[in-house]
Amino acid sequence: MKTFIIKIACGLLFLFLAGYGLASIKKYKLYGEYFIRQKVSYYDRHGEKYNALVFGSSRMYRQVNTGLLDSATSHKVKAYNMASGGTFFSESRYEYRHTGIHKSVKYIFFEIQDVQPFDINAYTEKFLYCHDLPTVTFELKYFAHNNDWNSSFLSVSHWFANIFYFKKLGQRDKTVNEFTDYNNGYFPLEKDYKNMVSVRKARSIYLKDTTLIYKNRIDAEKSPKNKLNPALVSELRLLAEDCRKKGIRLFLVLPPFSTPADLSEVKAIPDTRILDFSSRKTFPDFYTNRNAYDNGHLNRQGATLFTHKLADSLNYLIR
């Protein structure tokens, strides 16, 4: 019996070491998110063309028209949009860490996001792949502040599951990926209406009651602004420090449809600028049927409006 247990333990140790080694290979670091993997690959080949990068969720991917941003800033900001749909803070931070940022980059635009609840994508490839030690260390601090011990356990378990997930060896990519090179990584929702069920569903829900966007705008203004989780602020501080060492200016962005927050602690981070477009009162035009695609995103016209306002801020801040 003892010999059998030793063999089992040695077998598990071998699988752990093999999985840990596999997870450290660049080819498999982004196995869980096809969009991000393809964008990083595209940027690796064309990075010298850009002096700025955009990281975040669909509210950056679908709303920051990076091609327009180039011309609207008189070519001061030539950005590639690395953002992807369904992405939360841990994944965006992971993508940043595993992107070989070119020496030509002067600016980083990083969305201020929350951490994704585990009940949405638990143990899916998209959730597993970004759970390395830095991610888990951050999430443990984040969930400990919220006294969320269940999520703390799940974060650690995702790290182990990521190591033992050998199915990553079978990742496959398409040869043609329009979203990588269309308009410097920006891809409006209208272009994905036929291709993605989630886009059609969100649009359908919106069209059933187009007054909801106005109700949500009023509710968002009435709600109190909460401070960010201290672990999130600390992680943003680390991001800012890393950018400073690389000679990059960091812009932290709350794009349209974000939840308004108390950013007083974030504003204290050195060498960082906050670009907050979350106020429904200050930016009412974002939250209209003319500029919204669904209840959480701008349409192509709205993205143009937002990008111009973003460019106006940058033209003032970048001399």
Q: Residue 25: what pLDDT?
A: 81
Report pTM. 0.93
Evaluate if residue 177 carries a pLDDT over 80.
no
Write the DSSP symbol of residue 49: G
Residue partners of 258: CB distance under 8 A and separation at least 6: 59, 111, 112, 277, 278
pLDDT confidence tier of residue 175, bands split at 50, 70 and 90 = low
Residue range 219-223: mean pLDDT, rounded: 82
Which band of pLDDT confidence, cut at 50, 70 and 90, is reported for residue 292? very high
**180 or 156, which is more confident:** 156
Q: Is the pLDDT of residue 167 over 90?
A: no
Mean pLDDT calculated for residue range 289-317: 95
Half-sphere exposure (Cβ direction) of 97: Cα atoms closer than 13 Å: 20
Statement: residue 170 has pLDDT above 90: no
β-strand partners of 227: 262
Write down the domain spans for the chain. 2-317
Least confident of 38-42, 105-109, 133-137, 223-227: 223-227
Average pLDDT over residues 158-170: 85
Task: Give the mean pLDDT of 138-150.
Answer: 94
**Per residue, what are the HEC states of the chain?**
CHHHHHHHHHHHHHHHHHHHHHHCCHHHCCCCCHHHHHHHHHHHHHHHHCCEEEECCHHHHCCCCHHHHHHHCCCCCCEEECCCCCCCHHHHHHHHHCCCCCCCCCEEEEECCCCCCHHHHCCCHHHHCCCCHHHHHHHHHHHHHCCCHHHHHHHHHHHHHHHCCHHHHHCCCCCCCHHHHHHHHCCCHHHHCCCCHHHHHHHHHHHHCCCHHHHHHHHHHHCCCEECCHHHHHHHHHHHHHHHHCCCEEEEEECCCCCCEECHHHHCCCCEEEEECCCCCCCHHHHCCCCECCCCCECHHHHHHHHHHHHHHHHHHCC
State residue 28's pLDDT score.
84
Q: pLDDT tens digit string along 232-256?
A: 999 999 999 999 999 999 999 999 9
pLDDT higher than threshold 90 for residue 278? yes
Main-chain dihedrals φ then ψ at residue 125, nearest 5 degrees: -60, -40
Confidence of residue 174 (pLDDT cuts 50, 70, 90): low
Q: Is the pLDDT of residue 19 over 90?
A: no
Q: Which of 68-82, 108-122, 176-190 has the highest mean pLDDT?
A: 68-82
Res 69 pLDDT > 90: yes
